[in-house]
Structure 1
Amino acid sequence: MKFMTFNQFTIIGILLLISSSISAQCAQNTPPNLGNDTILCPGNTLQFDLSGMPNNPVFLWDDGTNLATRTISTPGIYYVDAKYIGTSIVNNGDFSQGNTGFSTNYTVGTGGSWGQLSSPGTYAINTSPSNVHNNFTFCSDHTGNNGNMMIVNGASTPGTDVWCQTVNVTPNTDYEFSTWITNVINSTNVANLQFKINGTVIGNPFLTSTVGCVWDQFFSIWNSGTATSATICVTNLNNSGGGNDFAIDDISFAPVCIQSDTIEVEYNNNPVFTLPTSYDECDGSTLTLDAENVGFDYEWSSNETTQTIQVNTSGTYSVTVSDGGYCDANQEFNVTFHSPPNAGADGVADFCDTDLNVDLFSLLDPSIDASGTWYDQLGNPITSGQLDISNLAGFNQYDYVLTSPFCPDDTSSFDLDIKTFLSAGTDFTEQFCNDGTVDLNTFISVTNPGTWTSIDGLGGNIFNPNTGVLTLDGLTKGDYTFEYVVYSDAPCTSDTAVGIIQVSELAQIQFISDLTEGCSPLTVNFSDMTIVNGSKNYTWYVDGVQVGTDSTMTYLFDDVRCYDITLSIETDNLCLKTYTESQMICVNPDPIADFKFSPASIFSDNPVVSFTNESQLNANNIWDFSGLGGSNEINPDFTFPFGEEGDYEVTLTVYSPKGCVDSTTQIIPIRDQTIYYVPNAFTPDGDNINNVFKPVMTVGIDPQMYKFEVFNRWGEKVFESNDYEVGWDGTYGGQLVKDGMYNWKITFTELKTELVITQMGTVTLLK
C-alpha cells in the first residue's frame, strides 16, 4: 500500500490534469515503475534503476535530484517524475526546405561587394556563412553536417523580428522552446537576441560568442495556459550594424510530457546485543551466556532455545535471534577457560658484579611462563626483570610471582651470590723516542695488584716484568705490546689491561748539495740522505731562517758571503733531531762591467770610435760591436761602416777570476753631416748645359721643410720653389730676364738637429 501526503496528492492531481489534456501526445511514453511498497531490515538499502526506460526521459525525484538511479536507506514515501520531450511542431525548423514556413522583417540578400549578404537587415538560407559573405567564417550546421541554416547580416534597428512562426498548441501544456545560434565572424559586437511567444518575452536576452562558428543553445520552458496557438519570434535588439552577424539553426518547439510513480518504504528493528562476546575464566568454574532481546526467538549452536545457557569448557558458542522470522541476527561468544599459573621451583645462582644487569627471567626453567613479575627483598617490583648488580655483593633473595586475571598467583624464590670483579684498569697507548727508559706502572689506572708480561718476548735486559720498567735505548721503530693481568674470584674472570708502547727513532741526519760555491745569484739544490724508520717532517734553515719543509730544498743565494745550512727532522711527529753544516755554501763576488767611448759626436764620414774599459774584477774582457766585430783588448778602437748613419749597440762582457760574469751595453750614435752646394752662375741659353739655377742639397736635409727664393736687384721675387729638385730657368712672367746679378735665399731644416737654417747669396745670369 502507498501512502501520500497532502502536497503529494496536490502534485499528483495537477500532473493528472495536465496528463489528461495532453494524453494523446504522451500516451506512447512508458511511466516509471518504482515497484511495490516494501519493508526492509536495518542496514538494508533499496536501489531504483530507471536507466533503461525508452525515449530518454528527464527524471525529477522528490529530493530534487535527477539521476536515473537512486539508492535509499531510510523509511519514507519516495516519488519520481519522468519528463519526455515530444516531437517538435515547428515547420522547417532546420531550414532543410529552404526559405519557407516562417515570416521575417529581414529581406533576402541580393548581393553587393561582399557577397549576397553585403547589406545589414538581409538574410540567406545556405550551408555556410562563408558562401554568402566574403568576411564570414566557414561553419557547418550545429550538428556538424552539411545542412542548411539561416544566415543573418544583423540590422541596426533594435526590435526587428528575424524569424517568426505560428503553431497550434494544447492549453495547459508545457512546451520546450530551443534553438542553436552562432556568431559568423570574430567580433566583440555580437548579436543580442530576444525570444518571444505571443508577444511575451521568454528567457533572458541571448548573446552569441565573440568567436565565429561556436554554436550555443537557447532553451526555455513555456506553458500554454489557455492559449490554443503560439506565435514564436526571434528578435534582434542590436542598434548597430557593424558585427551583429549570426546564424540560427534547428528551431524546436515540442510538448513536455510527465509520468510519475510513488513507493512507500518501512523498516523493522534488528535484534540488539550489548553484552560482551569474549570471556576468560579459570578451569573448574561455570559461565552464563545471555542472548538478551527478551521475547525474541533463540537458537543456540548447542541446540538450546532458551535466552541463557551454562558452559564450562572453552569454545565458540553462537546464537541466532529472530523477531518472528523477519529480521534476525547472529551473535558469537568466544569462551576460554585458563589453567592456573606455575612459577616453577626455587633456585640458587652465582654472578659477578661485572655482569651489571642480570636478566632474572634467564633463571627460570624454559617451560615456565615468563609473563610474571620479579620482586626484591623489600617487595618492590623489578622492571622488566632486569636487575642491576653492579653495586651488590654477597647473597640476595628475589621472588618470581606469576599472576593470572582468572586464577590465584604462584611464587618461586631465588638466592643470588654476587662476587666482586677486580679491574686491571684501562688499556693505554703511549709514544716515545728510542732514548732512555719508561715505567709502565705509571699508566695503570687502578691499584689492584697484577703481573706484567711482554707479548713481544722482550728479554730482561730490555723489559723487567717485576718492575714494569722498559729500556728504550737501541729499540727499533715499532709497537711493543704489554699485558697487565689482575685475578678475581670465580665466576668473575681475570682482567687484562693492554699497554702499547710506540717507539720512534731519532734521525742521524745527513744531507748533500749539488754546489758549495758559485757566483751571485747562486741556486743550490739540497737533498736529505738520512736513513731512519718512520714518517719524516723536514725543516731547512739558512743562517737560522726557515726556508723549506720537504726532503729536498732549492735556495737562491744573493749576498756575497758564506752561509750555515741546518736541517731538522722530526720522525713520527715526535722525535726531533737537528744538524748544522757551518759555512757550507759560499757566494763569490761578481765583476762590474763599465766603459766610455770617444769622440762624443761621431759622423758617418769618419766613424772611428775609441773605447775606455772602466770595469772592476775584469780578468777577461769580451767586446761585441753590434755584431760587426769583436775584441779581447782592454781598451780597443773600432771603425764602424763608413757613410752609414745609425745607432750601434756595443756590449762589454767581463769575467772575474772565479768565473763570475757581468755585462753592459751602450748605444753608439753615428750621424750624417749636412752637405749642400749653391752655384754662383748659370747660362739659360737653351744649350742644355747649366740652364737651371738650383742649390745642390745632398744629405741631412728635411725635404718637407725646404724653401728656395730668387729676387732681382729691386727686391722683387722672380722665383720660388719648395722642391729642391726644381730650380730657376731664368724666366719671369714667361719671359727670359736680363743678364746680371740676382739674390737668392734658402730656408731648410737639418734632420739630425731639427735646426732651421737660412742661407742667402747671389748668382750671375749669363746668356
Structure 2
Amino acid sequence: MLRTLLHKTLLTAIAILLGGWAVVAQQNVVKGTALSFKVDDNPTVDYRWVIYNVDAGTTANLTSNTHISEEYTFNIAGNFEVRVYPVDRISRCLGEPLTLPVTVNGDPPTITFDDLSTPYVCSANNGVNPRAEISCTVNYKGPLPWTFKYSVDREPAVLPPGADEIWTSSFDFVVTIRNESGLKSRSEIMIVEAKSLSGLEVVENIDAHRVEIDVLGLPDTKFTDYEPSVMAGTLYSYKANILRHDPDITPSSPASSKRYEILVPDGATVLNESTRLLADELHSELSFDIQWGEELGPKQIKLIEKNAFNCYGDTIYANINVIETFMVDLGADKNVCKGDEITLTPSIDMEGNFKYLWSTGETTESIQVSTAGTYTLTVTETNLNKTSVASVKVNLLDLPVVDLGDDYELADGEVKTLDAGAEGTYLWSNGETTKTIDVDRSGLYFVTVTGVNGCQATDEINITSVNDVFAIELGDDIVACVNDAVVLNPNPSITQNYKFKWSTGEETQTISVNESKTYSVVVTDDAGNVKRDEVTVVFNALPIVDLGADRNIYEDESLTLDAGNAGTGATYLWSTGETTQTIEITNAGIYSVTVTNSNGCSNTDEVKVIENKGQKFTVDLGDEIEICEGDSAFIEPTIDRDIDPTYKWIPGEATDKGIYVDKKGKYCVEVSDAFGNKETACVDVLINPSPKVDLGIDRSLEVGETAVLDAGNDGIAYLWSTNETTSTIEVSTTGEYSVIVTNSKGCNGSDAVNIQSKGRRFLPSGFSPNGDGNNDVLKVKGADIKNVTFIIYNRGGRKIFQSNRVDIGWDGTYKGELQRMDTYVYFLKVTLDDNSTEIQRGEVTLLN
C-alpha cells in the first residue's frame, strides 16, 4: 500500500508540473522502495532518465528513452534526484532537465506501546475517579516530527492533546474509558494513523500497536422511588438500585464492607437500611428511611456506590424540599350566575397520596357547583395521616329580567315602543344601546341585557304589519366545502325596489360568503315594509393533502408516497390510476393525488420525484453534547453506507471528517458523495460551568499545629488527595494537598496548596542535569538524617525514581533516557537521629 500511494503521488506531481518545467516538492520514501516515473508525452522529443545520488555524487542511467521510465529500486538510504532530460529527435540537442528530489530513509518508521503496569482500571464517572486514568506511553522510531491517533475498542480515532506534532521519540497520554455494564470488561487501546509528518506511514505491527486492559464496571446507581417534598419531622422511605450487595452486611457492619454511602443533610438521620437481590442477580434494591429534622428548605440526598475493587460510580442526587406541612388552597371567593356552574379544584403544594372529603359529601378531587354557599374541603395525606382544610365561598348572582312581550302586529301607521326592562347595558338587534326603542315596521327584534353584576339575559319579539305585501326566502341551511362558491339571495317574491341590509354590513341583494356562521338579511321596500330571514352556512374542511417537498430517488431504490389519512369514507385517486392511500414508486416523474373525504370535499397535491445517481445515505451526529468549561469534544458523523465522502462543517468551513469543539452552539456537517448527493446533520453543544476552587496560598505549620483547608462550593461533591469527601479537611502534616470539586453536571474544578514545615528544607526547588558539574543530581541534604524515603512522579502519576539512601539522588533519567524539562512531584519522608519524622510533598523543576 505504501509503495502504491507514493508511486501515484510522484507520477501525478511530475505530470502536472512538466508543462511549466517547474521544480516539485521533495518526496520521502523508505529503503527498498521501487518506483517508476512518468511525464507528459511530447512526440518531438526522446527522454533521458538519470538517478543521481546526491550524497555519493554517483549517477545511474536508466535505459528508457520514452516519457515513462523503467522501475528503479532505492536500496540505499540518502538524498537522490530523479532527472529527466528532453532530447530533440532531429538535432539530438539535450534540453534542461526536470528534477525531482527524493529522500530515502533507512527503515520505515515503527511504533510500539510501552507496557502498562496497571492490571485493571476503574471506569470513568461523572465526578473524579483517579483510578480511571490510564497512563499510556508510545515509543517511536523514525523521522521527526511524527503524529498518531488512538482508538478505544475500534471506535473513531482520537488525536491526543499535543500529538499533532511530536518532536520526541516517546509520548505520554492519558485515556479514560467508561464502562456502565456493571461487569468487568476488556478494552483495547490501539494506535492508528501513525506516521511521520513527512508522509511516511508506520510499519504495520498490530501486536506492537495495541494493548488490552481490564476496565471495571461503573456502578449504575439510580433512585427509583422518593417524594420531592416532605414534611419536617416525618419519616420517608427511599429506594435505589445498586450493584449486587450481600444482605448480611448491615448498617452496623464496618464501613469498608459496605459498597455504598448515603449522605444526608445535617439534622436528618438514615434508618432501616436493607438490600434485596433483584431477579437479574446482578443488582440489589437498596431501601432506607430518612427521619427528617425540623429545618425547612431545599435539601439534597447523595448516594455514592463503589464496586469490589473500590471503583466509585456516579454520585446521584435526590433533591428534596422540606416543608412544615402541606397546604391546600381553593382560591378567592367565586361568583356564578344563576343557571351556570363552576368547577372547584384544590391546589396542593406537595405530592402525596391524598383523600378528599367535601362538605357536600363528595370524595372526588374536583366538584361542580351551581348553588350559593360556603364549600369546605378536607384533604388527608394517607401515608402520613396528616390533614389540611380549605374553604371557599360561592355567591349566586341573579339574571336580569328581560321580557319584550308577545309577538305583535302593527296597525297602519302605528309605532310601538319596545322596553328591555331590567337595569344594565343593552344591545338590540338593530345596533341600538338604549333601554327602549321605537319600531314602525315588521321584523324580528331581540335585545341582550347585561346586569350590573355582569350576568346576561336575552329576549326577542316578532313584529309584523298589516301592510306586509312581499315575502323573502334564504332557503334551507347550507353545507358546502371551503373552496366552494356560496351565494346568498333573499329572493323577494315581488319585483320592485328594495333596500337590503345583511348582517355582514353589505347592502347588495346577493352576497358571496366563505365563513361558517349564521347570516341574516333585512329587506325593506319603498313603502317601508320590512322582512327578515336568516340561514346557517357550514363550510366543511378540505382533506389535508401534503405529499411534501420534491423528492430524490436513488438507484435501485423505491419511495412511498403517502396522501395522508383523510378519515373514514375517504377515497383516493393517483395520477397512476391507483386508489390506495399510499403508493410505491421506482421511477422519476411528477405524481399527483386527489383525495375526497366523507363530506364530499376534495383536495389535490403533487410532488416531483428527481432521479439521483448513487445510493441514499444518512448522516447522524448523535444527541445533544454537554461538555465542561475548558474541555473540548470531538464530533464525527456516522454514515450508514460505504461512500467516498467529503465534509463541510458549519461554522468554520473545516473539511476534516471530525472536529474538536470547545464553544457553545449548533454545529452542522454537510456530507457529499462522489455523485454530488448531499446530506446534513446538526448537533447542539452546551458548555457547563466548572466550579471555582481556591485553597489559598501555600502555608507553613509549626510542629503539632493544624490547618483547615476549605474547598467552598456548598452542596457539591468533593474528593481530596487524602480521599476525604467533605468540603473542608483538617491537616497536620506537610505536603501538597489538592481537591477536585464536581458539580451536578460532572464538571470539575481543582486547586492545590503546599503545607510546609517551618523546620528545615531538605531539597532544592530545581536542578539541571546537563553535565556541567553544577547541580546535576537532585539529592536530599541536611545533618542528623538517619533514614530517607525519596520518590519522584511524573505528571501522569507514574513513579519514575525511588531512593532510600541519602547519598543516591535522581539524575533526571527514566529507563536510561533523560526526561524532558518539566515540573515533577516528589514525596520525601526523613527520619532524624532523634527518631523524629518529617514528611514533605511538593514539586521540583527539571531544567535542561
TM bucket normalised to smaller: under 0.3
Q: TM-score scaled to structure 1, two decimals?
A: 0.26
